[in-house]
């Protein structure tokens, strides 16, 4: 079979009946299918198919599942396992927004979070939003950076995603419109090979309210993907990019497997693939890894 549809749910959330319904839906549309292959019993399975486009298979499967909390990936079966991972940090590798947490110490969380949300939704260009938020933090003690990191939590599956892909030869980069103070720690914790982000200007132990230029924005995230792929001699078809915001869309669109992770409707609707329900190990199932291949 030339193509594969991967279904991923919470543990115990994927039943044989759901696979049968999806298989019937594909065949009713004119597709040819083979028996599903479990990647994790009750959680993830591959359904090989042919004679349908990815869009047709995706649409038919979603209709058959009738809104059940199951993530879907319809793609070519060849070259599923990617050799370059480019991952966003805030609300992707980490469960929250580091700048919003930092704002907590300045007593400005509501104001800064509102600007963050407008940027994530694409209502405000990223650089403007970043500079507005950082300006509000002028004079904040730099010690708040460490305190903010201590409050952050890693998304479930973050380390497993990186460790498993690296164990199979992939190169991993965390790229963020946030700050190197945080991405450096995320790189070390998760095992990324490299981190790319913005630099906060600090003088006399306090934030100046300025970002050191140039700003790493949507365009520079794409440049990071293209640059690392060229450096590593990895074709874009073998790249995986994942993120949640509008500034991730260009790199998501360029990668062979580009995934919107728990993104709002405006962002998720522009990505070819999305994760609405699962954690970051869903990206491993999408690449055809069975659960017993995961590296803890």
pLDDT digits (tens, 9 = 90+) for 239-262: 999 999 999 999 999 999 999 999
Where does the chain have alpha helices with state H? 16-28, 54-65, 98-106, 109-120, 126-135, 143-151, 158-167, 180-190, 218-232, 249-254, 265-268, 282-286
pLDDT number for residue 103: 87
Higher pLDDT, 125 or 49: 49
Do residues 242 and 283 make contact, with C-beta atoms less than 8 angstroms apart? yes
SS3 of residue 211 by DSSP: strand
Burial class (CB in 10 A: 0-12, 13-18, 19+), 286: buried
Catalytic residue among 58, 90, 195, 244: 90
Query: Over 70: is that where the pLDDT of 276 sits?
Result: yes
Binning pLDDT at 50, 70 and 90, where does residue 1 land?
low
Q: What is the homologous superfamily of the domain 1-78 according to CATH?
A: ACT domain (3.30.70.260)
Catalytic residue among 46, 58, 88, 195: 88
Burial class (CB in 10 A: 0-12, 13-18, 19+), 41: exposed
Active site includes 292? no
Q: Retrieve residue 293's tokens.
A: 């291949």
How far apart (Å, rounded) are the C-alpha atoms in residues 201 and 215? 12
Q: Retrieve residue 218's tokens.
A: 């949507």
Active site includes 250? no
pTM for the structure as a whole: 0.95
Residues 262-266, mean pLDDT to the nearest whole number:
90
How far apart (Å, rounded) are the C-alpha atoms in residues 139 and 122? 29
| β 32-33/44-50 pair status | antiparallel
Q: Is the peptide bond before 214 cis (omega within 30 degrees of 0)?
A: yes
How far apart (Å, rounded) are the C-alpha atoms in residues 165 and 47? 22
pLDDT digits (tens, 9 = 90+) for 159-213: 999 999 999 999 999 999 999 999 999 999 999 999 999 999 999 999 999 999 9
């Amino acid at each position: 079979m030339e193509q594969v549809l991967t279904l991923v749910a919470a543990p115990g959330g994927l039943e044989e009946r759901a696979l049968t319904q999806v298989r019937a839906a594909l065949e009713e549309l004119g597709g040819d299918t083979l028996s599903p292959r479990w990647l994790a019993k009750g959680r993830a399975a591959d359904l090989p198919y042919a004679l349908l486009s990815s869009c047709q298979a995706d649409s038919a499967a979603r209709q058959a599942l009738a809104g059940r909390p199951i993530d879907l990936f319809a793609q070519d079966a060849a070259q599923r396992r990617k050799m370059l991972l480019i991952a966003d940090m805030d609300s992707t590798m980490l469960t929250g927004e580091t700048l919003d947490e930092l704002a907590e110490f300045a007593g400005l969380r509501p104001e800064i979070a509102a600007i963050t949300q407008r940027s994530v939704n694409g209502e405000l260009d990223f650089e403007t939003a970043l500079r507005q938020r950082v300006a509000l933090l002028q004079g904040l003690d730099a010690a708040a950076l460490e305190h903010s990191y201590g409050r952050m939590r890693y998304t479930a599956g973050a380390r497993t995603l990186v460790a498993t892909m690296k164990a199979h030869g992939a190169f991993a980069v965390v790229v963020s419109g946030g700050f190197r103070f945080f991405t450096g720690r995320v790189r070390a914790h998760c095992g990324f090979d490299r981190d790319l982000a913005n630099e906060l200007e600090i003088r006399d132990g306090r934030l100046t309210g300025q970002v050191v230029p140039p700003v790493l924005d949507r365009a520079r995230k794409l440049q990071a993907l293209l640059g690392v792929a060229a450096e590593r001699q990895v074709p874009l078809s073998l790249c995986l990019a994942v993120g949640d915001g509008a500034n991730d869309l260009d790199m998501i669109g360029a990668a062979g497997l580009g995934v919107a992770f728990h993104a709002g409707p405006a962002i998720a609707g522009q990505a070819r693939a999305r994760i609405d329900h699962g954690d970051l190990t869903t990206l491993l199932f999408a690449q055809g890894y069975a659960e017993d291949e995961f590296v803890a």
